[in-house]
Amino acid sequence: MTQNSISTMSIARAIATKDLRIEWRSKVLVNQVLPFAGIVMVLFAFALDNDGILQRVAPGLVWLAVLFSSLIIVQRTFAIESADNALDAIKVAGVSSAGVFLGKSVALAVQLLLFECVLVMLSLVLYQVQLSWGGAVLLVTVSVLANVGIATMGALYGGLGAAAKGRETLLPLLLLPAVAPVLIAATRATESAFGVSGATLGEGWPWVALLAVFGALFGFGGTLAFGVLTEE
């Protein structure tokens, strides 16, 4: 049992470092997906066309941009596997699917964190929101916990789409409704961190609890379910 759990963790670490290394070397994420997220932020400004409104809804826009980007990141993280049937090879090799799931989730969460840093900084510049030190602490906590939720759900449904080849279009339909609680909680907490809509810092922390529950529940559920979902 101990042996088994150790190997699951080391598989997770191996998968996560492999994924991150591929992204680091290919630069697709930084050169293509990150600029996409930036463009979305600019387009929001065009669409809303009002500085006051923009400032007020900035938290929601940041998290919407994160969710849209997450769709691309999730699809990419499984595209690099299914290109040469690597997922099948991993399965044939008898690697624990829980380890694969956790590794994929960690890699996704790290990539999402990068996006959140950039998008928050963009919103400080473009949407003129303010961020105090206390707000920054809240925002980092929120981002990390929200990423657990988005990454586990993304890994789960992304894996499902990848297992059924050529049906990746299913991902948004499954993922977006499932992570709606994350969008709600993260947006409200970020409102507190930015101090917009009259929200105070203290109001943000209860939402952190909701994010933690969500992340824990689907981290656990996903670990159990991933093997069944990606089974051939």
Partner 1 sequence: MNRFRPLPSPLDTPTGTRASRGLGIVVLLGLALLTLLGLFFTDEDVVQGSTVRLMYIHVPTAWVAYLAFIVTAITSAMYMWGKQHSLTFDRIAGASAEVGVIFMGLCLVTGSLWGRITWGTYWQWDPRLTTTAFLFVTYVGYLAVRDLGGSHQQRAKRSGVVALLAVLEIPLVHFSVVLWRSLHQEASVLQPNGDVSMDGLMLFSLLFGVVVFTSLFAWMVLHRQRVLTLADAIDDGGLEAALQERRNEAN
User: Given the rule CB under 8 A, which residues bind partner 1?
Assistant: 156, 160, 163-164, 167, 170, 173-174, 177-178, 180-181, 184-185, 188, 207, 210, 213-214, 217-218, 221, 225, 228-229, 231-232
Task: Please report how close the Cβ of residue 89 comes to partner 1 at its closest, in angstroms.
Answer: 19
Looking at beta carbons only, is 89 or 173 nearer to partner 1? Answer: 173
State how far the Cα of 148 lies from the Cα of 179, in Å rounded to an integer. 11
Q: Which helix (H) or strand (E) holds 147?
A: helix 133-163
Task: Please report how close the Cβ of residue 21 comes to partner 1 at its closest, in angstroms.
Answer: 30
Looking at beta carbons only, is 11 or 160 nearer to partner 1? Answer: 160
Looking at beta carbons only, is 25 or 165 nearer to partner 1? Answer: 165
Contact 192, 200 (CB under 8 A): yes
Residue type for position 163: A
Looking at beta carbons only, is 93 or 228 nearer to partner 1? Answer: 228
Instruction: Give CA angle at 116 (140, 68), nearest 5°.
Output: 135
H-state helical runs in 27-50: 28, 34-48
Task: Please report how close the Cβ of residue 219 comes to partner 1 at its closest, in angstroms.
Answer: 12
Task: Please report how close the Cβ of residue 130 comes to partner 1 at its closest, in angstroms.
Answer: 21
Q: Which residues of 77-86 are buried (b: 16+ CB within 10 A; e: fewer)?
A: bbeebbeeee
